[in-house]
Structure 1
């Protein structure tokens, strides 16, 4: 299927002509296998598992049929006996979830894969205060595909290409491309000039959990991360860098550029900035520009390019 230009509407019916027969508005549920515990009923068990959610909110969810038996999608009672190992489905809900005022764009769609340009600020998958306002949630509602699954992740702050699996049967083969480093990922970033360094260069270091808990840092010991860095344009205040991550550590590109003395423009984590409301006029200048790999089913090389720019 040809890739449409950046501002062209994508024909969803050509992607899946049967999608209109599925409910477009439901946010797919999360799945949980009940862990060992001595709780009397399901309400006690889920309250212990998710202490940040109030007991009355869980009771109300049960009453509205938002907690189900995974075997037959039957609504469960809050007073039902707690059964270790029982798989339940529950619908995550966030009160007053903020709207991300940018739209995703479908770049490519076939029977196995969906390639999407993610805008800045939009999380890929549900986490924290975002459930419906995620790339996965939007696409599942838009296409009516509950089985859609991201094959890799981008930070919410990062824009660009994300690859999704549309069918469980082929998912493992595409996941292996990322796990076995058989997929070439290229990013573009705007960051301060580094005239004292020679390019291209390779940054290898050990990335580990930092403080606060949501940050990463470079530490001592054997390297577990690698990024190849080139300069593609040299401006007065910022250069445009091409970044090729060989490994996939959390925040790897942001940590490596900051460690070199060139934090990516718009980065609020490296170095850490005071937390506040998102400034949609100051995005992180980091873009997942291209994906290239040999398709495990078709055999030929495939390449996808983002229609976004920095």
Structure 2
């Protein structure tokens, strides 16, 4: 997918090489710069082709073609899925989608043509029967988990967002309905997670597992169920579901770690409600919000007397109801 990045050369850039400017201003790696410079029209200044070793002067405009000219040959061949796609945010580098439960993020056995990525391929392909391109999810959600999934439109943006994820600058917040209520209204669960010897799908807390840390906060407390806000420091398989079940508070509807469907909810009641990250090139802080899906919203309205609205993710209201707006 073609993306032309423009960098205006200022006083600090003057006399520096194109390669230095791209590393300093765009955060590109040497490998990414090498890939760009061999592309037709990959590096230009004021419309004229330049080499990565050329030095620029103040007032020039450096243009970088981030689109991958070989993507149509190298990318995956997608079957576009015309199913609805709820776009929360889009710019030249990224697109944020609100994934419904029951949809896999990326093609997998049994879901080669109906994943969220297939829906995105339909959006990008403008109605074509086939679409060949790289589609880059930044993290994934389990099939039954609803909420925000972020995709990068070019390899450089993907690399920069993955770097943010590694250092915790890209953060995702979840909302979950759990049985009972943790004794402490806020806390951290630090317990290693590994595979269960009794199931191919199931994970468990075990001494030989990988380190895992989950932070939680009780947002609403009911007689039978509570609504928690959670954030992960690590990203282990089924981490929230495993940690909450281990605490004695399994998720509503969770057939693998809890008691299965209840109150009309037939999946683990987990929703990725908020995402915070820096735009890969401008550095602008972006906050995305996805309202609770109908199954979880209906339970909240039924069980919590002071529940407010659609429960978008960031700030607890003084009444105790939630719109969960994050304070920065």
- With normalisation by structure 2, the TM-score equals 0.59
Following superposition of structure 1 onto structure 2, how do residues 217-256 of structure 1 map, counting pairs within 5 Å?
217-221=204-208, 224-256=211-243
Residue 152 (structure 1) aligned to one of 117, 132, 139 = 139
Shift of 1:284: 2.3
**Aligned pair 1:175/2:162, yes or no?**
yes
1:259 paired residue number: 246
Q: Judging changes above 3 Å, is the alpha-carbon distance between structure 1 residues 110 and 201 closer, same or farther for their aligned structure 2 residues?
A: same
Name the SS for the 1:298 alignment partner: coil
Deviations 1:137-191 (A, max 9, x none): 1111222262221111000010000000111232211111122322221100011
2:274 paired residue number: 290
Number of residue-to-residue matches in the alignment: 216
The alignment's C-alpha RMSD in Å is 3.0
1:190 paired residue number: 177
1:34 paired residue number: none
CA contact (8 A) 2:86 2:97 kept: yes
Name the SS for the 2:291 alignment partner: coil
- Within 1, Cα distance between the matches of 2:124 and 2:150? 15
1:208 paired residue number: 194
Name the SS for the 1:169 alignment partner: helix
- Within 2, Cα distance between the matches of 1:295 and 1:71? 23
Stretches of structure 1 that go unaligned for 5 or more consecutive residues are 1-69, 74-86, 94-98, 275-279
Residue 102 (structure 2) aligned to one of 116, 121, 132 = 121
Stretches of structure 2 that go unaligned for 5 or more consecutive residues are 1-69, 126-130, 297-328
- Within 1, Cα distance between the matches of 2:254 and 2:209? 27
- Within 2, Cα distance between the matches of 1:141 and 1:217? 38
Q: Judging changes above 3 Å, is the alpha-carbon distance between structure 1 residues 72 and 152 closer, same or farther for their aligned structure 2 residues?
A: closer
